[in-house]
Each structure stands twice: as C-alpha cells, then as structure tokens.
Amino acid sequence: MLEISKVSYSYGGNSVFSEVSLSVAPGAFYFLTGPSGSGKTTFINLCAGSLIPEIGSISVFGEETKNMTNYELAKMRRRLGIVHQECEFLDHLSIEDNIILPLSLAGLDSIKERANVLELMKWVGLYSKSKVKPQELSGGERQRAALARAVIMSPDIILADEPTGNVDWEMSQRLLQLLVELNKMGKTIFISTHDLSLVRLAKSYVKARTIRISDLQLSQAGADL
C-alpha cells in the first residue's frame, strides 16, 4: 500500500533521511515520532507526493510518486486523507463547503453527498457549526473539521501530521478516538507526533506500531512506549 524504499532527502546540503525504508501494511496504525526538526513533516509530505525523493522511491497504491505526473499525483491524493498541523481551509467558504470540497472537485457534490457530509459533521461533533467560517472555529474544531475533510472521500490511507499539535489533552484524546474508529473501519492510519503520551494512549485502544526518526534513520521504537 505504501512502500518507502531506500529514500534519501535533503534541504540544500542538510540531509533529513539517508536511505530509509518502510513498508506500510493495509489497515495498520502507525505512529511516526521524533523530536522537532527530525523530518516528520518532510516524511508525510514525501508520502503525500508533495515532495519527491532525491534518491530511492516511494510507492503509493503500487505506483512510484517519482514517475507520476501532476495529474496522477492529484488523483493519488484523492485516495489519501491528509491532515496537516496548520489545518488550512478556504476561509471564504463555510466549514460544510470546505469539508465537501474534495467531493465537489471529484464532481460528486450531490444532495445525497451533502447529507453524508452532515452525518460526518455529526460524527466529528461539528454539526451545529456547519455554516460557520473556518476562522470562527477553535483549534480543536479546526482539527476535527480537517479530519472530516480528509475522510470525506473515504480514503484508504490517512496521513496526519501532528494532528494534536495545537489542541489540549482532552481534544487530543477525542481526535485519537476518531482516528481509532477510522482504523477499525479498515483505514490505514499514519500519524506523525512528538506527543508520546498520545502514542501510549493509542496503544491501549489499538495495536499501533511506532516508528522513530533520529539520526537520519527510521527505527522501530522501544518497548518503553
């Protein structure tokens, strides 16, 4: 589903990864941990096809991102649910329209789909805020809205970059529960986080694997987690 093979990446002359490899199995729950600046966001961007590896290859759904055209990359992103820490939205649209945006782009914006969006908004606890503009939402609400937008197309893999980075512990737990629910529905979850307590909590719900980035390498995290 997601194959990372001997990938190296650097910014200017500064290496972030050196020949890292990872195979993500379908339906698995992964945490990617590491200190700030270790390359977690870069790794997520590489998996999402926003960055292309200099050396090595990344295959998503069996196709190498390096060989994809912009059109194919966009098609691939429609099968991925991506949540960034910043949770950017189109500020001139309502939250409901922002969430339905991926469907609208795919030409699936129908009355039935609108009803599904409202169900999804109920699921993330934002039903009452459907007509509100993104800038009127709190950090936690924005994160949940971003998650709802990421899953609206029923993606096979959800890539979340520090999804609990800007929210309190209570909201982190709630977001985690939503991600665990998605995993139980068969979705592959890949979360980057520096919050080890979140990882510990997740392990009490699901069988989560933890990958640690340090010294330009990926490694299986220890049993202390």
Interface ranges with other proteins (CB under 8 A): 45, 50-51, 70-71, 74-78, 80, 82, 84, 88-93, 97, 100-102, 104-107, 109, 149, 153
Question: In this complex, which beta carbon is closest to other proteins, that of residue 44 or of residue 182?
Answer: 44
Shortest Å, Cβ 87 to other proteins = 10
Beta-carbon neighbour count of residue 110 at 10 Å?
Answer: 11
Question: In this complex, which beta carbon is closest to other proteins, that of residue 66 or of residue 200?
Answer: 66
Residue whose token pair is 């039935």: 112
Shortest Å, Cβ 63 to other proteins = 15
Shortest Å, Cβ 78 to other proteins = 4
Residue whose token pair is 């914006």: 109
Question: In this complex, which beta carbon is closest to other proteins, that of residue 40 or of residue 212?
Answer: 40
Question: In this complex, which beta carbon is closest to other proteins, that of residue 142 or of residue 212?
Answer: 142
Shortest Å, Cβ 212 to other proteins = 24
In angstroms, the CA 66 to CA 49 distance is: 8
Decide if 142 contacts 89 (C-beta within 8 A): yes
Q: Which helix (H) or strand (E) holds 201?
A: helix 196-205
Question: In this complex, which beta carbon is closest to other proteins, that of residue 57 or of residue 94?
Answer: 94
State the burial class of residue 23 (Cβ atoms within 10 Å of its Cβ: 0-12, 13-18, 19+): exposed
Shortest Å, Cβ 143 to other proteins = 15
Decide if 118 contacts 126 (C-beta within 8 A): no
